[in-house]
């Protein structure tokens, strides 16, 4: 994704970051959460909001918690970069 972002969004052809760690435009690294996707589609819920009643129990529940943390951190990063205060 970084290559496409640099090329099509930033219009920086032939230039790309050396690594994700050095890319100032990187907001987060998210896992694909493949095991949660079918459950989320079936429940018609976001992956980070699945409950045991939706089939997310055992190892899936740990993945849901990790997904929640990842998306929360992404949200906070976006808010910070946009200058939006979490407290209003």
Residue 22 lies in a domain: yes
Alpha carbon of 36 to those of 44, 60, 78: distances in Å? 12, 7, 24
Alpha carbon of 24 to those of 1, 3, 16, 32: distances in Å? 14, 13, 11, 22
- Kindly give the residue spans of alpha helices, DSSP state H, lying in the chain: 2-4, 37-43, 59-82
Please answer whether residues 37 and 47 qualify as being in contact, where contact means their C-beta atoms are separated by less than 8 angstroms: yes
Residue 20 and residue 26: Cα distance in Å, rounded?
7
- Helix, strand, coil share (%) of the chain residues, nearest 5: 55, 0, 45
Residue 31 lies in a domain: yes
The range of the structural domain enclosing residue 72 comes to 2-82
Mean pLDDT by 10 residues, the chain (88 residues): 82 75 86 91 96 92 95 94 84
The domain tally of the chain equals 1
pLDDT at residue 65 in the model: 95
Residue 88 lies in a domain: no
pLDDT at residue 38 in the model: 94
pLDDT at residue 17 in the model: 64
Residue 61 lies in a domain: yes
Residue 87 lies in a domain: no
């Amino acid at each position: 994704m970084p290559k496409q972002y640099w090329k099509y969004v930033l219009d920086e052809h032939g230039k790309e970051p050396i690594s994700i760690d050095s890319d100032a435009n990187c907001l987060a690294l998210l896992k694909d959460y493949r095991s949660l996707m079918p459950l989320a589609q079936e429940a018609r819920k976001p992956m980070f909001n699945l409950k045991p009643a939706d089939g997310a129990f055992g190892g899936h529940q740990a993945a849901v918690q990790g997904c929640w943390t990842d998306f929360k951190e992404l949200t906070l990063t976006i808010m910070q970069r946009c200058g939006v205060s979490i407290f209003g």
